[in-house]
């Protein structure tokens, strides 16, 4: 997937997360709805000015448009780990940190949990 397609897909994800139609995003961003469709498909090579209009319409930091699926999955996984750790005391967190270090070291050596 190329950059215009990735950005377009991310715009679609953000739009759907807000529960907006393409028409609603277009109206909020002062763009034409058919243009939004082209952007979401990756057919349009959008300018920075247009990108700024879309970012402003979503009211999100610019980086949000570049948090592609892999990064979003990574962020969600880290958030899940933080939520799991938040209920643990300092001693438990220290123990889990040691285990995590060992697992990461084993992964670096190519050792899997099934070995």
Same domain, 61 and 94: no
User: pLDDT tens, 88-103?
Assistant: 999 999 999 999 899 8
Closest CA to 40 of 68, 12, 16: 12
Q: What is the pLDDT of residue 114?
A: 60
Structure tokens at 91: 């001693």
Identify whether 115 is part of a domain: no
Q: What is the pLDDT of residue 79?
A: 77
pLDDT band per the 50, 70, 90 thresholds, residue 104:
confident
> Whole domain around residue 38: which residue ranges?
3-66
Q: What is the pLDDT of residue 41?
A: 94
Same domain, 44 and 98: no
Q: What separation in angstroms does the CA of 68 have from each of 14, 28, 56, 60, 81?
A: 11, 23, 19, 15, 20
Task: Report the CATH number at residue 30.
Answer: 1.10.260.40
Identify whether 39 is part of a domain: yes
User: pLDDT tens, 14-64?
Assistant: 999 899 999 999 999 999 999 999 999 999 989 999 999 999 999 999 998
Closest CA to 41 of 77, 87, 7, 79: 7
Identify whether 113 is part of a domain: no
pLDDT band per the 50, 70, 90 thresholds, residue 82:
confident
pTM passes above 0.85: no
């Amino acid at each position: 997937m190329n950059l215009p397609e990735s950005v377009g897909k991310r715009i679609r994800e953000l739009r759907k997360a807000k529960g907006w139609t393409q028409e609603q995003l277009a109206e909020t961003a002062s763009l034409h709805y058919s243009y939004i469709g082209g952007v979401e498909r990756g057919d349009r090579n959008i300018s920075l000015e247009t990108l700024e209009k879309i970012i402003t319409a979503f009211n999100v930091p610019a980086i949000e448009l570049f948090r592609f699926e892999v990064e979003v999955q990574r962020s969600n996984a880290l958030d899940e780990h933080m939520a799991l750790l938040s209920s643990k005391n300092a001693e438990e967190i220290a123990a889990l940190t040691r285990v995590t270090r060992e697992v990461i070291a084993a992964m670096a050596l190519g050792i899997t949990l099934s070995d």
